Amino acid sequence: MKDPGFVTVDGRKIPIEGEANLLELIRKANIDIPTFCYHSELSVYGACRMCIVDLQGRGIVTSCSTAPEPGMVVKTNTEEVREMRRIALELLLANHDRSCPTCPKSGVCKLQDLARRFGIDDIRFQSTQPELPIDHSSPSLVRDPNKCILCGDCVRACSEIQGIGAIDFINRGSQVTVAPAFGKDLNAVECVHCGQCAAVCPTGALTPRSEIEDVWKSLGDPDKIVVAQIAPAVRVALGECFGMEPGTVAMGQIVAALKALGFDRVYDTCFAADLTVIEEGTEFIKRAEAGKRLPQFTSCCPAWVKFAEQYYPELLPNLSSCRSPQQMFGSLAKTVLPDELETDRRNIVVVSIMPCTAKKFEATRPEFSVGEVRDVDHVLTTQELARMIDGAGIRFTRLQPESLDLPLGFKTGAGVIFGNSGGVAEAVLRFAAEKLGGVKLQSADFPIVRGTEGVREATVAIGGQELKLAVVHGLANARKMAELAKHGQCPYQLIEVMACPGGCIGGAGQPIATEFDAKARRTESLYAVDKTLQLHKSQENPYVARAYETTLQEPGSEPAHHLLHTHYHSRKRIQDEDISLLDGGKAERVKVRVCVGTSCFVRGSQNLLRQVLDYVEEHGLSQRVDIGATFCLERCDRGPSVAVGDKVMEKCNLQMVVEALDQVLAQTEA
Amino acid sequence: MTQTIVDLDRSAREYNDAVKTATQRLIVCAGTGCVANGSLKVYEALKEQIAQAGLNVIVDLSVHDDADESVLLSKSGCQGFCQMGPLVTLEPDGILYTRVRAQDAAEIVQETLLHGRIVERLLYVDPNTREHCPRTEDITFYKRQSRTVLRQCGSVDPENIGEYIAKGGYSAARKAFTEMKPESVCEEVLHSGLRGRGGAGFPTGKKWDLTRVQPVEKKYVICNGDEGDPGAFMDRSVMEGNPHLLLEGIMIAARAIGADEAYIYVRAEYPLAVGRMRKAVADATALGILGDDVFGSGQTLTCHVMEGAGAFVCGEETALIASIQGQRGMPSPKPPFPAQSGLWGKPTVINNVETLATVPLIVNMGALEFRQRGTESSPGTKTFALTGHVANTGLIEVPFGTTLREVVFEIGGGVTDSTGGIDPEAFKAVQIGGPSGGCLTAEHLDLPLDFDSLRSVGAMVGSGGLVVMNKETCMVGMARFFMQFTQNESCGKCVLCREGTKQMLALLDNIVNGEATLETLDILQRLAVAVQKGSLCGLGKTAPNPVLSTLRYFRAEYEAHVIQKRCPAGQCKALVPMWIDPALCKGCTACARKCPVGAISGDKKQPHQIDPDVCIKCGACVAACKFNAIVGA
């Protein structure tokens, strides 16, 4: 074996083993180099200056951006380096909102941690920045620019992992802030609520919005029956908040804790996941047989759903019409539990415990309410539940385990693996393979869809056919699939999409990982849970079968559709911005819409609009023609664009409109 | 050898033909400074007057006529003596008329053009000898310079590619493409010892060679025309005055590294330079000098002119590259250097305007000849923008190794005081290198100016801005001024620069407002060092230089500000000592009686005085005075 080169770190020789930068190598040597802006899953930024080291011959360099070379001699802790780190920290603290005791990140904040580690006991600089308003607009996230240290991690996560870029740097120098476009609120821009920005944020600048107080209120209301559903990814991570190893399955204690908090029933989202498998699997088989609406994209990730609604509304028919397990649970629970628990539907409060911030947004979608009452009333992240447990003084690790309640607490292993990237695909395969193949599977495992790469593909032979699937995580990767599908070049029939790297176990509501392999261990643990259960295929879940018998009839039926499916809508443009300019007239008027979006406007569409209006008046057509201004027919470089009826014309002039109008009017007359 | 070479010679012939009847030439300076002073009006007036006088005037070279004699009237780039503009030069005698107004045109035509008589009142008068200087070469300002890169800058018409070619232009590029291999071009420039003129002074030949050897086919050349230093206009003058020289340098760089595409990045605040570069590229392309098969070599070269968008930080190479790529202009950590991974991730050479403009001269004269001027470690010449409290301000070019004394007192004509008159005792300091530079004091007057000697005293050549300061300059205020600039221009990416410059500015504000203590100086020093050592890019790394340099050489001045709360130069408004105007004081003693510390003295009916060492600036005297005789509160 070739002799690896060595880097001397503080006098010790450390071998170079493929590390991309000195920072990783030094950490391997068990020296925890401090950093704010370095993240192994994001591009190197080099802005926080905390990871500086003294490199012989080159002076002070940032270790995150310097590749290791054999023979380098590095000192990580010289007086100069210490002085510079101190000053950098003091500079950050000088303009930071130092209200630590009231900050949700207290105890897990990197700035707080490094200030303590470096013994900062005095801040010699002045506060120079005015206070900025906190953004509470989003149901999922709270944005506090006063706690931002401008490390840029959120910007890069949103841009590189999710391919969206809803937030970015604005202004220059000391006025720099991270904000959505045009200084708008987070909820007014293209944020899909995935929360990965909050997941990488080292301080309390971006945090999940807390619903703890709402839940306490419901728990304290004597008229309410409060039930919980627990997502798969939560059970292998919640323990981390109480010092347990990542991946420890603490389900028994979670149930006990919830009961101790006052929840009346504790159920399992995985039950609903089994239900999702059956509905989605059936849907997929139907589509595959008809050869229509393929590829089918999964729809359980609400961030992905919003992403598709925003950027690929033409692909919405390809999304599975199934609700997510969270929402299927809420809908079914509020339908069957009133009888079961002998109460009124309005008294049931469903609280879901999720690893996810987008679930908070999902629960607010109007499609998921009956009347004024939401199917899922509150969503708590893993972190929030931990805080509630802590707040109630419950000693989590010492709890005696308790079991989930029936019937909605029973699941198969297929439902549990939903928390991993590849889990939904595998669960669906376990269903479809038997359905299509007609034979019972020897082994329920489909390791081919497991893994960590952002884009994975698999070909599976089922029932004499070859099924091509893809599994992606990170929305930038989802975009690649969507582009293929949009241009009719997609070779896959089924595509699983998760917004969070690693799947739900990497969700923004999960505990901040202190171990570098926390995610991998959570993933492994979920597969292990699957193994320990007696049933692995959703179609074998007897309580799911009972739900069909009593309430849902069969997969894809009308009641199933009503309760368990949904529809989507385009969020691509400001909706309903047609401004009709002529009142009255027949109901069935021919619609003429002139685009007055900026590009068309610049090409003279407003003049054209006036000409068309004049023409219609002069020719007495206002009873038969409705003229309107509309926003964006999406032919921006070929404007002005005008739609007459269904026909959209580019580079339009009055004559073209008149001709098209004459044609349509002649037809309607006939 | 093909078409293009024939075209070059043809262009030269065409030009020479067009001007062959010109026995006299009037060159009106059309650099931005003179234009702002009305030189274009002078040009129009001259045109009219020449025609009225019955002389044949050539202004448009595409128009030929059959006159025997004519006067060629043209515009040039910056002629250098900006203080004395609008400037008009007359050839072939080399007469320089200064402060020319449109109404002088008639006299110039009548007297000088028709009768060969010099108009004395338009000549420069040497302030020391009191003599009128008819010719450029008689003027000390010009005599002591070595205008090499700027040689043609004040004479050729920057919008006429024909003139440039006729005077030998593009012959160096042709040589590089047809007679030299890329390695040899790099070698020649390496041997010449040419160092980057943008500030860092990196050996250009070495940079080119490092890029040349990258095993990637697509490569770029970028010309950095961002020139952000306030008060610097060297690059602007080259771009406005001799754009083809720059273009030729870019071509040679492209040949050296094997690039087929070049970007000329000019700051948007230089619209004239942008326009002239664009025209130069268009004209060169039309003639086949740029484009496919350059000089028959088989190589392609296209040039794009791109405008900046108002950010000083985009003069930093990686931020400039981000800007070209349409991203926010923020620098990236180096390594990787642009030579390995630059524009769009490809190997890129990025050079300063002056560096590239020097290259054709090197190729033509050879490395050895080039080394004849300058010093061992810094061969060649450097342009400087000489400004501030000096008699002759303008654009100069001197060989490296010229002393500061020579620049300020010989070429600059000496230091001026607040009245504008030359005062031999007025010299205090020279700020060299703009907001990134340090200051030089009287002890450095005999320091030869070059890269290494300046670095050894904590200063730097920088881009070439030289601001001369007299004794009425407050060095603390000067440091604060530059810090405010860099603070404004910081991109905000890295903690040390963004927060550090903000805090340094706050500390300097405290100092000039009399709110600081000795501890302030200590923390200012420590912070400055941290920012200098730890910032991500050159902006942050050099922003503390004015502070560190002034703390080093003018510590006493800082201490006066913090201990005595006094500004010795009398500039810092908050610290100006209280003063009784003797012209207004009636000697009524009201103020003396009110003063709580007994700082005011004076006899009855005689003007009183305030002792600044005792005064605590409470303002009680101001309130007491009925004659408004006390100033400075």
Q: Determine the Cα–Cα distance for residues B220 and B303; give it in Å rounded to an integer.
A: 10
Q: B63 pLDDT exceeds 70? A: no
Q: Which residues of A touch B345 (CB under 8 A)?
A: none
Per-residue pLDDT, averaged over B14-19, amounts to: 88
Report yes or no: B502 at the A interface, CB cutoff 8 Å.
yes
pLDDT number for residue A584: 62
Across the interface, whether the CB atoms of B495 and A59 are under 8 A apart is answered: no
Q: A629 in helix, strand or coil?
A: strand
Which of A44, A48, A83 is nearest residue B495 as measured by Cβ atoms?
A48
Tell me the count of A-B CB pairs closer than 8 A. 104
Q: Determine the Cα–Cα distance for residues A652 and A631; give it in Å rounded to an integer.
A: 16
* pLDDT digit string, tens, across residues A450-479: 999 999 999 998 878 889 999 999 999 999
DSSP A338-350: HHHTTS-GGGEEE
Q: Determine the Cα–Cα distance for residues A421 and A469; give it in Å rounded to an integer.
A: 13
Report yes or no: B394 at the A interface, CB cutoff 8 Å.
no
pLDDT category, B2, cuts 50, 70, 90? very low
Q: Which residues of A touch B335 (CB under 8 A)?
A: 65-67
Q: B4 pLDDT exceeds 60? A: no
Q: At what angle do helices B545-553 and B518-534 cross, to 10 degrees?
A: 140
* pLDDT digit string, tens, across residues A96-122: 998 899 899 998 999 999 999 999 999
Contact partners, residue B588, CB within 8 Å, separation at least 6: B604, B626, B627
Per-residue pLDDT, averaged over A131-153, amounts to: 95
Across the interface, whether the CB atoms of A128 and B503 are under 8 A apart is answered: yes
The percent of residues in chain B predicted with pLDDT above 90, rounded, is: 68
Report yes or no: B506 at the A interface, CB cutoff 8 Å.
yes
Q: Determine the Cα–Cα distance for residues A305 and B484; give it in Å rounded to an integer.
A: 48
DSSP code for A417: G
Q: B355 pLDDT exceeds 90? A: yes
Q: Determine the Cα–Cα distance for residues B615 and B558; give it in Å rounded to an integer.
A: 19
* pLDDT digit string, tens, across residues B385-403: 999 999 888 889 999 999 9
Across the interface, whether the CB atoms of B333 and A62 are under 8 A apart is answered: yes
Chain A: residues touching B (Cβ < 8 Å): 44-49, 52, 59-60, 62, 64-67, 80, 83-84, 87-88, 91-92, 94-95, 124-126, 128, 149-150, 152, 168-169, 171-176
Q: B422 in helix, strand or coil?
A: strand
H-run or E-run covering A378: strand A378-381
Arithmetic mean of pLDDT over chain B: 91
Contact partners, residue A590, CB within 8 Å, separation at least 6: A624, A625, A626, A644, A645, A661, A664, A665, A668
- The length of chain A is 670
Instruction: Choose from A622-626, A665-669, B373-377 the range with maximum mean pLDDT.
Output: B373-377
Q: Which residues of A touch B488 (CB under 8 A)?
A: 172-173
Q: Determine the Cα–Cα distance for residues A60 and A75; give it in Å rounded to an integer.
A: 10
In chain B, what is the straight-line distance between the N-terminal and C-terminal CA atoms, in Å? 78
Query: B190-216 as b/e, with b when 16 or more CB fall inside 10 Å?
Result: bbbbbbbbbbbbeebbebbbbbbebee
* pLDDT digit string, tens, across residues A168-220: 999 988 889 999 988 899 998 999 999 999 999 999 999 999 999 999 999 99
Å from A129 to nearest chain B CA?
10
Arithmetic mean of pLDDT over chain A: 92
- Dihedral sign for Cα A332, A337, A340, A345, please: negative
pTM of the model: 0.85
The structure tokens listed for A576 are 């309903």
pLDDT category, B65, cuts 50, 70, 90? low
Contact partners, residue B441, CB within 8 Å, separation at least 6: B428, B429, B553, B554
Q: SS3 string of B444-468?
A: HCCCECCHHHHHHCCCCCCCCEEEE
Select from B312, B332, B341, B494 the residue whose CB has the most chain A CBs within 10 Å, as the one to mutate to test that interface.
B494
Across the interface, whether the CB atoms of B536 and A150 are under 8 A apart is answered: no
Q: Write the single-letter amino acid at A214.
A: D
Tell the residue number behind the tokens 């025997």, with chain if given: B68
Per-residue pLDDT, averaged over A551-561, amounts to: 92
* pLDDT digit string, tens, across residues B575-592: 877 888 888 899 999 999
DSSP code for A65: S
pLDDT number for residue A441: 77
Q: Name the pairing type of β-strands A12-15 and A647-649.
A: unpaired
Residue A245 has phi, psi (to 5 degrees) of -70, 145
Q: A257 pLDDT exceeds 70? A: yes
Rounded to 5 degrees, what angle do the CA atoms B24, B30, B32 make? 165
Higher-pLDDT residue of B63, B490: B490
Calculate the alpha carbon distances from A479 to A161, A175, A309, A476, A499 in Å: 11, 33, 12, 5, 11
Across the interface, whether the CB atoms of A172 and B311 are under 8 A apart is answered: yes
* pLDDT digit string, tens, across residues B415-436: 998 888 888 889 999 999 889 9
Regarding an ipTM greater than 0.90, the answer is no
Which of A48, A87, A175 is nearest residue B530 as measured by Cβ atoms?
A87
Across the interface, whether the CB atoms of B536 and A67 are under 8 A apart is answered: no
Q: List residues of A with catalytic annotation.
A: 280, 283, 300, 320, 359, 362, 367, 504
pLDDT number for residue A212: 96
Query: B605-631 as b/e, with b when 16 or more CB fall inside 10 Å?
Result: eeebebeeeebebeebbbebbeeebbe
DSSP B115-148: H----GGGSEE-TTT--EE-BGGGSHHHHT---S
Q: At what angle do helices B518-534 and B495-512 cross, to 10 degrees?
A: 160
pLDDT number for residue B11: 87
DSSP code for B562: I
Which of B332, B492, B534 is nearest residue A176 as measured by Cβ atoms?
B492
Q: Determine the Cα–Cα distance for residues A363 and A357; give it in Å rounded to an integer.
A: 10
pLDDT number for residue B66: 66
Which of A67, A125, A175 is nearest residue B503 as measured by Cβ atoms?
A125
Higher-pLDDT residue of B140, B197: B197
Q: A438 pLDDT exceeds 70? A: yes
* pLDDT digit string, tens, across residues B182-204: 999 999 999 999 999 998 899 99
Across the interface, whether the CB atoms of B533 and A59 are under 8 A apart is answered: yes
pLDDT number for residue A575: 52
Calculate the alpha carbon distances from B208 to A576, B247, B248, B255, B421 in Å: 58, 17, 16, 10, 48
pLDDT number for residue B558: 96
